[in-house]
Structure 1
Amino acid sequence: MFNGIINVYKEKGYTSHDVVAKLRGILKQKKIGHTGTLDPDATGVLPVCLGKATKLCDMLTDKDKTYEAVLLLGTTTDTEDMTGTVLESKEVTASKEEIITAIMQFIGEYDQIPPMYSALKVNGKKLYELAREGKVIERKPRKVWIHSIDILDVNYDTKEIRMTVSCSKGTYIRSLCRDIGEVLSCGGCMKSLVRTKVSRFVIEDSFKLEEIEALVKAENIEKHITAIDDMFTEYEAVIVDEKFNKLIYNGNAFHISNIIEKEDGIHTEYVRVYDSLGQFIGIYEYQLEEELFKPRKMFL
């Protein structure tokens, strides 16, 4: 069984669940999970967790992401992208400078109302399921953070703006496009979306499903799977003395005296813990006053 994270390039037409299902067949293992939904029409980076790394799914979902999107001004749809029904078309009267100013004002924290066509649940039912039934319900705005927006091109003839957006978890680029259109009083929707980065995973290093299948057949896939502990390189490594291996195998806390001595002490709140053989065990929290390491996420 493979354990780690593989950087998948999700192609157009696939759902994130489709990718997981196909990978289960390619890798011949069931324990696989994705790290955040990408719409079927969107493409790009989809980190997929394998084996023991499925415990990382929620942690990677929480990571910042970067997208390249095309905003189409003057068109409003029910899905907030081009897959939906056009609700309104308006003339775009704003100048190029006004468009840029409107876009840039979204940098920072803002309250975003998620789209009806989304996988968010209300009373146990997904919003898109309600939307397909013709129901529109009130959605509470959620705080999201737009770290940066880089405008790559403004095509005033086609009313298309190509931009790179770096943002927090829970941000809908479709809804950002909608909100920019509202500020400009002409409406707007998302024409296309490519996710270019999730945490450390970038599009240049991603693999299409057919490429992964070829790597498996060539028995060359392992070197393209990111090890679980490589996701925590910002934490110090701690190696437990051989006599205390059993303690950590059973998920117990252990004292600083149980580790192979670190001359300069412990400098991070969380640490990567390894047994005496160098096998990664999990993430522990270091309690300075008690000089105790307590388990937080076990991967053994």
Structure 2
Amino acid sequence: MIGRATRLARYVTPMDKSYTTTARFGFVSDTLDAESEPVPVEGPIPDANAIRARLSEFTGHILQVPPMASAIKVGGRRLYDLHRRGVEVEREARPVEIHAFTLVSADPTAGTATFEISCSSGTYVRSLISDLARVLGSGAYLTALRRTRVGDLLVRNAPSPEDLHGTNLNNRIIHPETVLRGLPAVEVGVRGRVGVCNGRKLKAFGVEGSYRVMAGGELLAVYRDEGPEARAEVVLCAA
């Protein structure tokens, strides 16, 4: 994000996400990934059929305990700070939603499996794979993780480093209204536009949550109703 659009990051962060990840079964690690030393555990190395048979248990609305190596705060302290000190504390399970959990490939000989996951924001893929391995009677940690989607933004559409230095960079910039098209939208006229671009309060539109304020297809701002009034959260247009 660049320019005024950087203020829209707060609306992108909570969007659903997709990942491709590879896990190694038969081992566990403190961080649930390759950042810490893997330790072998007893138990079978599951094959593709065994893995697919349990995936449905981890789709839909589930409760997930976040890993110790995470940025969540408990008692005012970041969990990763406590983890570095060798302190483990009880973490409350949090609701997340797994929209899709698909096995792409599995190699029982190597003990590896690759997955595609679509989930709500706040989901820890490391914990998801660790929990799956546990019900399979094994252990697992992530050896690779790549985010492939945030909302409607796909990594395959991202410009390459060469594009960033090319003459057609402007053609690769995604307009803010495209990024936020998942938010409801209201339309204002010429007089309303003046008020919005000055960040003025408006009469409430009766829309729940944050919504886009548009004028002739142009994204002017993001507003939110507060009682009888609508207040600006982010204003993009110039007064």
TM-score, scaled to structure 1: 0.68
Mapped to 2, the partners of 1:245 and 1:146 lie a distance apart of 40
Q: CA deviation at 1:104?
A: 2.9
Preserved CA contact (<8 Å) 1:68 1:195: yes
1:273 aligns with 2:214: yes
Show the counterpart of 1:178.
Answer: 130
SS state of the match for residue 156, structure 2?
A: helix
Q: In the alignment, is the contact (CA less than 8 A) between 1:71 and 1:188 conserved in 2?
A: yes
CA contact (8 A) 1:282 1:295 kept: yes
Q: Within the alignment, does 1:129 sit opposite 2:129 as a pair?
A: no
Residue 214 in 1 paired to residue 165 in 2? yes
Counterpart-to-counterpart distance in 1, 2:225 and 2:73: 36
**TM-score under structure 2 normalisation?**
0.83
Paired residue secondary structure (1:146): strand
Identity of aligned pairs, percent? Answer: 26
Alignment of 1:282 onto 2:221:
yes
Q: 1:59 to 1:280 in 2, by over 3 A?
A: closer
Q: Does 1:116 align with 2:53?
A: no
CA deviations on 1:200-253 (whole Å, 9 max, x unpaired) are: 111211135x335423xx3x3222221212233454462422x55442232224
1:57 counterpart residue number: 9
- Say if 1:271 and 1:244 are closer, same or farther in 2 by CA, change over 3 A: closer
Instruction: Check the 8 A contact 2:159/2:172 in 1, yes or no.
Output: no
Equivalent residue, structure 2, for 1:198: 150
Alignment of 1:21-170 (within 5 A): 49-92=1-44, 94=46, 96-170=48-122
Cα distance in 2 for partners of 1:249, 1:64 equals 30
Across the aligned residues of Structure 1 and Structure 2, the Cα RMSD in angstroms comes to 2.9
Q: Deviation of residue 120 (structure 1)?
A: 1.9
What SS does the aligned partner of 1:138 have? coil
Partner residue, 1:250: 198
Q: Post-superposition shift, 1:92? A: 1.5
Structure-2 separation of matches of 1:249 and 1:149: 43
The answer to whether the 8 A contact 1:146-1:165 is kept is yes
Shift of 1:167: 0.5
The Cα shift of 1:179 comes to 0.5
Determine the C-alpha separation between the residues in 2 that align with 1:138 and 1:199.
32
Contact 1:92 1:159 survives alignment (8 Å): no
| 2:187 alignment counterpart | 238
Q: Distance in 2 between matches of 1:213 and 1:152?
A: 32
Contact 1:155 1:161 in 2 (8 A): yes
Unaligned runs of 5+ in 1: 1-48, 257-265
C-alpha change, 1:249 and 1:96, in structure 2 (3 Å) is closer
Deviation at 1:195, TM superposition (A): 1.1
SS at match of 1:144: strand
- Cα distance change, pair 280–65 in 1 and its aligned pair in 2 (3 A): closer
CA deviations 1:48-89 (Å, max 9, x no partner) are: x22222222121110111111112111111010122122442
Q: In structure 2, what residue type is equivalent to 1:214?
A: H
Work out whether residues 81 and 189 of structure 1, in 8 Å CA contact, stay in contact via their aligned partners in 2.
Answer: yes
Looking at structure 2, the residues matched to 200 and 279 of structure 1 have their Cα atoms a distance apart, in angstroms, of 19
Cα distance per residue 1:172-194 (max 9 Å; x no partner): 11111110111112111112111
Shift of 1:116: 1.2
What CA distance in whole angstroms lies between the structure 1 residues aligned with 2:164 and 2:181?
A: 29
How far apart are 1:171 and its partner, in Å? 0.6
Equivalent-residue separation in structure 2 for 1:249 and 1:93 (angstroms): 60
Structure 1 match to 2:235:
298
Partner SS, residue 196 of structure 1: strand
The counterpart of 2:140, out of the listed 183, 188, 200, is 188
